[in-house]
Chains A and B, each alone.
Chain A
Protein backbone atom coordinates (compact mmCIF):
# COMPACT_ATOMS: atom_id res chain seq x y z
CA UNK A 1 0.00 0.00 0.00
CA UNK A 2 1.08 3.60 -0.41
CA UNK A 3 3.73 2.39 -2.84
CA UNK A 4 4.20 5.64 -4.64
CA UNK A 5 4.46 7.73 -1.48
CA UNK A 6 6.85 5.31 0.21
CA UNK A 7 9.04 5.12 -2.87
CA UNK A 8 9.26 8.92 -3.00
CA UNK A 9 10.05 9.12 0.71
CA UNK A 10 12.81 6.53 0.45
CA UNK A 11 14.32 8.31 -2.54
CA UNK A 12 14.28 11.57 -0.65
CA UNK A 13 15.73 10.00 2.51
CA UNK A 14 18.55 8.23 0.70
CA UNK A 15 19.77 11.47 -0.83
CA UNK A 16 19.29 13.56 2.32
CA UNK A 17 22.40 15.38 3.60
CA UNK A 18 21.79 14.06 7.07
CA UNK A 19 21.11 10.44 6.10
CA UNK A 20 23.14 7.37 6.97
CA UNK A 21 22.19 3.88 5.82
CA UNK A 22 22.88 0.94 8.12
CA UNK A 23 22.49 -2.79 7.87
CA UNK A 24 21.11 -3.63 11.28
CA UNK A 25 20.85 -7.38 10.81
CA UNK A 26 24.42 -7.78 12.00
CA UNK A 27 24.34 -5.22 14.80
CA UNK A 28 24.15 -6.24 18.44
CA UNK A 29 20.59 -5.53 19.53
CA UNK A 30 19.68 -3.56 22.63
CA UNK A 31 19.43 -5.87 25.65
CA UNK A 32 15.95 -7.28 26.16
CA UNK A 33 14.27 -7.59 29.56
CA UNK A 34 11.01 -9.08 30.77
CA UNK A 35 9.59 -6.10 32.68
CA UNK A 36 8.70 -2.75 31.19
CA UNK A 37 10.50 0.19 32.79
CA UNK A 38 8.95 3.36 34.12
CA UNK A 39 11.42 6.18 33.56
CA UNK A 40 10.84 9.28 35.61
CA UNK A 41 11.83 12.82 34.65
CA UNK A 42 15.01 12.87 36.73
CA UNK A 43 16.15 9.55 35.22
CA UNK A 44 15.86 10.58 31.59
CA UNK A 45 19.06 10.42 29.59
CA UNK A 46 17.35 10.77 26.26
CA UNK A 47 13.80 11.49 25.23
CA UNK A 48 12.66 10.79 21.69
CA UNK A 49 9.39 12.30 20.59
CA UNK A 50 6.54 12.92 22.97
CA UNK A 51 3.05 14.30 22.79
CA UNK A 52 4.02 17.26 20.64
CA UNK A 53 6.24 15.92 17.89
CA UNK A 54 6.49 12.35 16.79
CA UNK A 55 5.21 10.03 14.10
CA UNK A 56 5.28 6.25 14.09
CA UNK A 57 3.82 4.41 11.15
CA UNK A 58 3.89 0.81 9.92
CA UNK A 59 3.22 0.05 6.28
CA UNK A 60 3.16 -2.98 4.08
CA UNK A 61 5.52 -2.59 1.13
CA UNK A 62 6.73 -4.86 -1.64
CA UNK A 63 10.28 -3.64 -2.14
CA UNK A 64 11.56 -3.95 1.40
CA UNK A 65 15.32 -4.31 1.86
CA UNK A 66 15.45 -6.58 4.85
CA UNK A 67 17.41 -5.15 7.78
CA UNK A 68 18.07 -1.77 6.24
CA UNK A 69 17.82 1.36 8.37
CA UNK A 70 17.89 4.80 6.82
CA UNK A 71 18.56 7.21 9.64
CA UNK A 72 18.09 10.94 9.30
CA UNK A 73 19.97 12.41 12.23
CA UNK A 74 22.55 11.21 14.71
CA UNK A 75 22.95 7.61 15.80
CA UNK A 76 23.99 8.88 19.24
CA UNK A 77 21.27 9.51 21.76
CA UNK A 78 20.66 13.19 22.41
CA UNK A 79 18.94 14.53 25.55
CA UNK A 80 15.88 15.43 23.49
CA UNK A 81 15.10 14.69 19.85
CA UNK A 82 12.16 14.65 17.56
CA UNK A 83 11.16 11.11 16.68
CA UNK A 84 9.86 9.61 13.51
CA UNK A 85 9.82 5.94 12.63
CA UNK A 86 8.52 4.34 9.48
CA UNK A 87 8.55 0.57 9.52
CA UNK A 88 8.17 -1.11 6.15
CA UNK A 89 7.13 -4.71 6.20
CA UNK A 90 6.96 -7.31 3.49
CA UNK A 91 4.39 -9.76 4.69
CA UNK A 92 2.49 -12.83 3.66
CA UNK A 93 -1.07 -11.61 4.04
CA UNK A 94 -3.66 -13.49 2.07
CA UNK A 95 -6.90 -11.76 2.81
CA UNK A 96 -7.93 -8.21 3.36
CA UNK A 97 -10.19 -9.10 6.30
CA UNK A 98 -7.06 -9.80 8.34
CA UNK A 99 -5.30 -6.63 7.29
CA UNK A 100 -6.22 -4.58 10.34
CA UNK A 101 -5.33 -7.39 12.71
CA UNK A 102 -1.86 -7.61 11.15
CA UNK A 103 -1.38 -3.86 11.31
CA UNK A 104 -2.38 -3.91 14.95
CA UNK A 105 0.18 -6.61 15.69
CA UNK A 106 2.83 -4.38 14.14
CA UNK A 107 1.66 -1.40 16.16
CA UNK A 108 1.85 -3.24 19.47
CA UNK A 109 5.25 -4.90 18.99
CA UNK A 110 7.28 -2.21 20.86
CA UNK A 111 4.97 -2.30 23.88
CA UNK A 112 4.56 -6.08 24.04
CA UNK A 113 8.30 -6.47 24.63
CA UNK A 114 10.79 -4.47 26.70
CA UNK A 115 14.32 -3.16 26.32
CA UNK A 116 16.51 -2.54 29.33
CA UNK A 117 16.31 1.08 30.46
CA UNK A 118 13.82 2.01 27.76
CA UNK A 119 10.23 3.12 28.20
CA UNK A 120 7.98 3.24 25.16
CA UNK A 121 4.48 4.65 25.04
CA UNK A 122 2.33 4.65 21.91
CA UNK A 123 -0.74 6.62 20.92
CA UNK A 124 -2.34 4.31 18.35
CA UNK A 125 -5.05 6.63 17.05
CA UNK A 126 -2.60 9.45 16.35
CA UNK A 127 0.40 7.35 15.23
CA UNK A 128 2.67 8.69 17.94
CA UNK A 129 5.51 7.03 19.80
CA UNK A 130 7.19 8.44 22.90
CA UNK A 131 10.47 6.94 24.05
CA UNK A 132 12.47 7.58 27.20
CA UNK A 133 15.91 6.12 27.72
CA UNK A 134 17.43 5.91 31.18
CA UNK A 135 20.51 8.06 31.82
CA UNK A 136 22.53 4.95 32.71
CA UNK A 137 22.07 3.59 29.18
CA UNK A 138 22.59 6.68 27.06
CA UNK A 139 26.39 6.59 26.82
CA UNK A 140 26.62 2.86 26.29
CA UNK A 141 23.89 2.50 23.66
CA UNK A 142 22.91 4.05 20.37
CA UNK A 143 19.90 4.21 18.12
CA UNK A 144 21.23 1.45 15.86
CA UNK A 145 21.02 -1.04 18.70
CA UNK A 146 17.49 0.16 19.37
CA UNK A 147 16.44 -0.51 15.78
CA UNK A 148 18.31 -3.80 15.80
CA UNK A 149 16.20 -4.96 18.74
CA UNK A 150 13.01 -3.77 17.03
CA UNK A 151 14.06 -5.65 13.92
CA UNK A 152 14.45 -8.85 15.92
CA UNK A 153 11.04 -8.44 17.50
CA UNK A 154 9.30 -7.84 14.17
CA UNK A 155 11.03 -10.79 12.57
CA UNK A 156 9.61 -13.05 15.30
CA UNK A 157 6.17 -12.57 13.74
CA UNK A 158 5.77 -15.59 11.48
CA UNK A 159 3.98 -13.75 8.68
CA UNK A 160 6.72 -11.16 8.23
CA UNK A 161 9.21 -11.81 5.44
CA UNK A 162 11.31 -8.64 5.61
CA UNK A 163 11.54 -5.44 7.67
CA UNK A 164 13.08 -2.08 6.85
CA UNK A 165 13.13 1.15 8.85
CA UNK A 166 13.35 4.85 8.24
CA UNK A 167 14.29 6.61 11.49
CA UNK A 168 14.21 10.36 11.98
CA UNK A 169 15.85 12.22 14.85
CA UNK A 170 17.00 15.24 12.86
CA UNK A 171 14.33 17.94 12.86
CA UNK A 172 10.59 18.53 12.74
CA UNK A 173 10.73 19.36 9.00
CA UNK A 174 11.93 15.82 8.36
CA UNK A 175 9.25 14.41 10.67
CA UNK A 176 6.69 16.27 8.55
CA UNK A 177 7.74 14.08 5.60
CA UNK A 178 5.84 11.23 7.23
CA UNK A 179 2.63 13.19 7.69
CA UNK A 180 1.18 12.62 4.19
CA UNK A 181 1.76 8.90 4.68
CA UNK A 182 -0.08 9.00 7.99
CA UNK A 183 -3.04 10.81 6.47
CA UNK A 184 -3.35 8.42 3.57
CA UNK A 185 -2.85 5.41 5.82
CA UNK A 186 -5.65 6.64 8.11
CA UNK A 187 -7.89 7.02 5.10
CA UNK A 188 -7.15 3.50 3.92
CA UNK A 189 -7.82 2.01 7.35
CA UNK A 190 -11.17 3.79 7.52
CA UNK A 191 -12.07 2.61 4.06
CA UNK A 192 -11.19 -0.96 5.02
CA UNK A 193 -13.37 -0.73 8.04
CA UNK A 194 -16.26 0.66 6.10
CA UNK A 195 -15.99 -2.11 3.56
CA UNK A 196 -15.94 -4.76 6.23
CA UNK A 197 -18.52 -3.36 8.63
CA UNK A 198 -21.09 -1.51 6.59
CA UNK A 199 -23.56 -2.59 4.01
CA UNK A 200 -22.82 -0.11 1.26
CA UNK A 201 -25.52 -0.26 -1.36
CA UNK A 202 -23.67 1.66 -4.02
CA UNK A 203 -19.91 1.87 -4.21
CA UNK A 204 -20.15 4.55 -6.86
CA UNK A 205 -21.59 7.05 -4.40
CA UNK A 206 -19.33 6.14 -1.50
CA UNK A 207 -16.79 8.71 -0.23
CA UNK A 208 -14.09 6.06 -0.10
CA UNK A 209 -14.65 4.75 -3.59
CA UNK A 210 -11.22 5.77 -4.89
CA UNK A 211 -9.40 4.19 -1.98
CA UNK A 212 -11.40 0.98 -2.30
CA UNK A 213 -10.59 0.77 -5.97
CA UNK A 214 -6.90 1.03 -5.07
CA UNK A 215 -7.27 -1.70 -2.48
CA UNK A 216 -9.12 -3.93 -4.92
CA UNK A 217 -6.53 -3.48 -7.61
CA UNK A 218 -3.70 -4.23 -5.16
CA UNK A 219 -5.31 -7.46 -4.03
CA UNK A 220 -6.12 -8.46 -7.58
CA UNK A 221 -2.42 -8.13 -8.36
CA UNK A 222 -1.76 -10.43 -5.43
Chain B
Protein backbone atom coordinates (compact mmCIF):
# COMPACT_ATOMS: atom_id res chain seq x y z
CA UNK B 1 0.00 0.00 0.00
CA UNK B 2 1.41 3.38 -1.01
CA UNK B 3 2.21 5.66 1.88
CA UNK B 4 0.37 8.94 1.27
CA UNK B 5 0.91 10.46 4.69
CA UNK B 6 2.20 14.01 4.61
CA UNK B 7 4.60 14.56 7.48
CA UNK B 8 5.07 18.24 8.20
CA UNK B 9 7.84 19.23 10.60
CA UNK B 10 8.30 22.68 12.05
CA UNK B 11 11.79 23.67 13.11
CA UNK B 12 13.84 26.80 13.58
CA UNK B 13 15.47 28.94 16.20
CA UNK B 14 13.87 28.91 19.65
CA UNK B 15 11.32 31.66 20.08
CA UNK B 16 10.68 32.07 16.36
CA UNK B 17 7.12 30.80 16.77
CA UNK B 18 7.28 27.24 15.38
CA UNK B 19 5.09 25.81 18.14
CA UNK B 20 2.30 28.35 17.50
CA UNK B 21 2.50 27.74 13.76
CA UNK B 22 2.43 23.98 14.28
CA UNK B 23 -0.63 24.28 16.56
CA UNK B 24 -2.42 26.46 14.03
CA UNK B 25 -1.56 24.07 11.21
CA UNK B 26 -3.19 21.31 13.27
CA UNK B 27 -6.23 23.54 13.79
CA UNK B 28 -6.43 24.17 10.05
CA UNK B 29 -6.12 20.50 9.07
CA UNK B 30 -8.64 19.26 11.65
CA UNK B 31 -11.12 21.92 10.52
CA UNK B 32 -10.75 20.40 7.06
CA UNK B 33 -11.63 17.01 8.59
CA UNK B 34 -8.20 15.57 7.89
CA UNK B 35 -6.89 12.69 9.96
CA UNK B 36 -4.03 14.28 11.93
CA UNK B 37 -1.38 13.05 14.32
CA UNK B 38 0.33 15.82 16.30
CA UNK B 39 3.78 15.00 17.66
CA UNK B 40 5.40 17.18 20.26
CA UNK B 41 9.08 16.41 19.71
CA UNK B 42 10.25 19.28 21.86
CA UNK B 43 11.27 18.03 25.33
CA UNK B 44 9.89 21.27 26.77
CA UNK B 45 6.43 20.15 25.68
CA UNK B 46 5.33 23.48 24.19
CA UNK B 47 2.88 22.00 21.67
CA UNK B 48 0.80 20.34 24.35
CA UNK B 49 0.43 23.76 25.97
CA UNK B 50 -0.50 25.43 22.72
CA UNK B 51 -3.16 22.77 22.09
CA UNK B 52 -4.43 22.71 25.67
CA UNK B 53 -3.47 19.06 26.18
CA UNK B 54 -1.95 17.31 29.16
CA UNK B 55 -0.38 14.05 28.03
CA UNK B 56 -0.42 11.35 30.70
CA UNK B 57 2.46 9.45 29.12
CA UNK B 58 5.23 10.31 26.75
CA UNK B 59 7.23 8.25 24.33
CA UNK B 60 10.08 8.45 26.80
CA UNK B 61 7.87 6.91 29.51
CA UNK B 62 7.10 4.12 27.06
CA UNK B 63 10.79 3.67 26.33
CA UNK B 64 11.55 3.29 30.05
CA UNK B 65 8.63 0.93 30.49
CA UNK B 66 9.80 -1.27 27.60
CA UNK B 67 13.32 -1.25 28.97
CA UNK B 68 12.09 -2.43 32.37
CA UNK B 69 9.89 -5.15 30.91
CA UNK B 70 12.74 -6.45 28.77
CA UNK B 71 15.09 -6.23 31.74
CA UNK B 72 12.68 -8.24 33.89
CA UNK B 73 12.51 -10.88 31.13
CA UNK B 74 8.73 -10.61 31.00
CA UNK B 75 8.85 -10.87 27.22
CA UNK B 76 10.48 -13.69 25.37
CA UNK B 77 10.18 -12.93 21.67
CA UNK B 78 10.35 -10.06 19.22
CA UNK B 79 6.71 -10.63 18.24
CA UNK B 80 5.62 -10.06 21.81
CA UNK B 81 7.73 -6.93 22.08
CA UNK B 82 6.21 -5.57 18.88
CA UNK B 83 2.66 -6.19 20.07
CA UNK B 84 3.44 -4.70 23.45
CA UNK B 85 4.82 -1.55 21.83
CA UNK B 86 1.77 -1.19 19.57
CA UNK B 87 -0.53 -1.55 22.53
CA UNK B 88 1.38 0.94 24.65
CA UNK B 89 1.69 3.41 21.78
CA UNK B 90 -2.09 3.46 21.40
CA UNK B 91 -2.43 3.85 25.15
CA UNK B 92 0.03 6.78 25.05
CA UNK B 93 -1.94 8.70 22.41
CA UNK B 94 -4.10 11.57 23.57
CA UNK B 95 -7.15 11.16 21.38
CA UNK B 96 -8.45 14.68 21.05
CA UNK B 97 -11.46 15.75 19.01
CA UNK B 98 -10.23 15.76 15.43
CA UNK B 99 -6.65 14.69 16.01
CA UNK B 100 -4.39 12.42 18.05
CA UNK B 101 -1.45 13.68 20.04
CA UNK B 102 1.82 12.03 20.99
CA UNK B 103 4.47 13.62 23.20
CA UNK B 104 8.06 12.51 22.83
CA UNK B 105 9.00 13.66 26.33
CA UNK B 106 12.29 14.38 27.95
CA UNK B 107 14.94 11.67 27.92
CA UNK B 108 16.10 11.87 31.53
CA UNK B 109 17.38 8.36 32.06
CA UNK B 110 21.05 7.67 31.85
CA UNK B 111 22.50 5.11 29.53
CA UNK B 112 22.24 4.20 25.88
CA UNK B 113 18.87 3.19 24.53
CA UNK B 114 19.82 3.07 20.86
CA UNK B 115 18.14 -0.23 20.10
CA UNK B 116 14.91 0.65 21.92
CA UNK B 117 14.87 4.08 20.29
CA UNK B 118 15.36 2.51 16.89
CA UNK B 119 12.60 0.01 17.58
CA UNK B 120 10.23 2.72 18.82
CA UNK B 121 11.00 4.84 15.78
CA UNK B 122 9.98 1.91 13.63
CA UNK B 123 6.71 1.51 15.58
CA UNK B 124 5.92 5.23 15.36
CA UNK B 125 6.71 5.04 11.65
CA UNK B 126 4.09 2.30 11.26
CA UNK B 127 1.61 4.33 13.33
CA UNK B 128 2.13 7.39 11.15
CA UNK B 129 0.97 5.48 8.07
CA UNK B 130 -2.58 5.50 9.40
CA UNK B 131 -2.85 9.29 9.27
CA UNK B 132 -3.29 11.73 6.39
CA UNK B 133 -1.15 14.37 8.04
CA UNK B 134 1.44 14.33 10.80
CA UNK B 135 2.52 17.64 12.31
CA UNK B 136 5.76 17.60 14.28
CA UNK B 137 6.86 20.42 16.51
CA UNK B 138 10.61 19.89 16.67
CA UNK B 139 13.38 21.12 18.86
CA UNK B 140 15.43 24.04 17.58
CA UNK B 141 16.20 21.71 14.75
CA UNK B 142 19.84 21.17 13.88
CA UNK B 143 20.34 18.25 16.20
CA UNK B 144 17.23 16.48 14.99
CA UNK B 145 18.14 16.78 11.34
CA UNK B 146 21.56 15.37 12.14
CA UNK B 147 20.12 12.49 14.14
CA UNK B 148 17.78 11.53 11.34
CA UNK B 149 14.74 11.94 13.50
CA UNK B 150 13.19 13.80 10.62
CA UNK B 151 13.85 11.05 8.09
CA UNK B 152 10.17 10.47 7.42
CA UNK B 153 9.38 14.16 6.94
CA UNK B 154 7.85 15.09 3.59
CA UNK B 155 7.41 18.81 4.27
CA UNK B 156 9.85 20.83 6.34
CA UNK B 157 8.74 24.28 7.47
CA UNK B 158 11.61 26.29 8.89
CA UNK B 159 10.36 29.13 11.04
CA UNK B 160 12.46 32.23 11.52
CA UNK B 161 11.94 35.63 13.03
CA UNK B 162 13.53 38.65 11.40
CA UNK B 163 16.80 38.56 13.35
CA UNK B 164 20.00 37.90 11.39
CA UNK B 165 20.86 34.97 13.66
CA UNK B 166 17.51 33.33 13.17
CA UNK B 167 17.72 33.65 9.40
CA UNK B 168 21.26 32.23 9.42
CA UNK B 169 20.02 29.23 11.40
CA UNK B 170 17.16 28.82 8.94
CA UNK B 171 19.64 28.86 6.10
CA UNK B 172 21.80 26.20 7.77
CA UNK B 173 18.77 24.04 8.45
CA UNK B 174 17.75 24.31 4.83
CA UNK B 175 21.19 23.24 3.62
CA UNK B 176 21.19 20.28 5.99
CA UNK B 177 17.73 19.20 4.89
CA UNK B 178 18.59 19.51 1.20
CA UNK B 179 21.78 17.54 1.78
CA UNK B 180 19.79 14.75 3.37
CA UNK B 181 17.11 14.38 0.76
CA UNK B 182 16.07 15.80 -2.56
CA UNK B 183 12.46 14.72 -2.19
CA UNK B 184 11.55 16.66 0.95
CA UNK B 185 9.66 19.90 0.33
CA UNK B 186 11.34 22.69 2.28
CA UNK B 187 10.30 26.25 2.87
CA UNK B 188 10.80 29.11 5.28
CA UNK B 189 8.18 31.18 7.05
CA UNK B 190 9.35 34.54 8.27
CA UNK B 191 7.40 35.12 11.44
CA UNK B 192 6.84 38.18 13.64
CA UNK B 193 7.52 40.57 10.82
CA UNK B 194 7.67 44.15 12.10
CA UNK B 195 7.86 47.40 10.25
CA UNK B 196 11.43 46.95 9.07
CA UNK B 197 12.43 44.99 6.00
CA UNK B 198 13.81 41.49 6.29
CA UNK B 199 16.66 40.40 4.03
CA UNK B 200 16.13 36.76 3.03
CA UNK B 201 18.33 36.53 -0.05
CA UNK B 202 17.69 33.35 -2.09
CA UNK B 203 15.84 31.50 0.67
CA UNK B 204 12.59 29.80 -0.40
CA UNK B 205 10.23 31.96 1.61
CA UNK B 206 6.73 30.55 1.83
CA UNK B 207 5.27 33.63 3.45
CA UNK B 208 5.79 36.41 5.92
CA UNK B 209 3.53 36.63 8.93
CA UNK B 210 3.06 39.68 11.14
CA UNK B 211 3.48 39.96 14.88
CA UNK B 212 0.22 38.72 16.41
CA UNK B 213 -0.87 40.34 19.65
CA UNK B 214 -3.71 37.82 19.89
CA UNK B 215 -1.35 34.87 19.89
CA UNK B 216 0.89 36.60 22.42
CA UNK B 217 -2.19 37.06 24.61
CA UNK B 218 -3.21 33.40 24.23
CA UNK B 219 0.33 32.43 25.14
CA UNK B 220 0.33 34.65 28.22
CA UNK B 221 -2.99 33.26 29.40
CA UNK B 222 -2.14 29.65 28.56
CA UNK B 223 -5.13 29.46 26.25
CA UNK B 224 -5.34 26.81 23.54
CA UNK B 225 -4.70 28.13 20.03
CA UNK B 226 -7.41 25.79 18.81
CA UNK B 227 -9.82 28.39 20.17
CA UNK B 228 -8.41 31.13 17.98
CA UNK B 229 -11.07 32.75 15.82
CA UNK B 230 -11.22 31.53 12.22
CA UNK B 231 -11.32 35.13 11.10
CA UNK B 232 -8.08 36.03 12.89
CA UNK B 233 -5.86 37.85 10.40
CA UNK B 234 -2.69 35.99 11.34
CA UNK B 235 -4.45 32.62 11.05
CA UNK B 236 -5.89 33.59 7.68
CA UNK B 237 -2.43 34.43 6.35
CA UNK B 238 -0.98 31.19 7.66
CA UNK B 239 -3.76 29.25 5.98
CA UNK B 240 -2.84 30.82 2.65
CA UNK B 241 0.74 29.65 3.13
CA UNK B 242 -0.32 26.14 4.12
CA UNK B 243 -2.73 25.81 1.20
CA UNK B 244 0.11 26.61 -1.18
CA UNK B 245 2.72 24.46 0.49
CA UNK B 246 1.05 21.23 1.59
CA UNK B 247 -1.78 20.70 -0.87
Interface residues of A (CB under 8 A from B): 35, 38, 40-42, 50-51, 100, 104, 107-108, 111, 121-125, 128, 130, 193
Using an 8 Å CB-CB cutoff, how does the interface string of B152-170 with A read, 1 for contact, 0 for none?
A: 0000000000000000000
Known contacts A40-B95, A40-B100, A41-B95; A123/B87 CB under 8 A: yes
Can you list 5 A-B pairs with a CB-CB distance of less than 8 A? A41-B100, A104-B77, A121-B86, A124-B75, A125-B80
Chain A residues positioned under 8 Å from B73 (CB to CB) = 193
Residues of B in contact with A (beta carbons under 8 Å apart): 1, 35, 69, 73-77, 79-80, 83-84, 86-88, 90-91, 95, 97-98, 100, 130
Q: Most chain-B CB neighbours within 10 Å: which of A42, A100, A104, A125? A: A125
Cα distance A183–B156 in the bound complex, in angstroms: 49
Nearest chain A CB to B183's CB is how many angstroms away?
Answer: 25
User: Which chain A residue shows the least CB distance to B92?
Assistant: A51
Give Cα A147 to B151, complex, Å.
Answer: 41
**Whole-angstrom distance between the Cβ of B70 and the nearest chain A Cβ:** 10
Query: Which chain A residue has the least Cβ–Cβ distance from B95?
Result: A41
Give the docked Cα–Cα distance between A130 and B86 (Å). 11
Set B75, B86, B90, B100: member contacting A125, Cβ < 8 A? B75
| Contact of B87 with A108 in the complex, beta carbons under 8 Å | no
A residues near B76, Cβ cutoff 8 Å: 100, 104, 193
Q: A40-B95, A40-B100, A41-B95 are in contact. Are A128 and B77 (CB under 8 A)?
A: no
Name A128's contact: one of B79, B86, B87, B100 (CB within 8 Å): B87
Residue of A nearest to B100 (CB): A40
The answer to whether B83 touches A111 (Cβ under 8 A) is yes
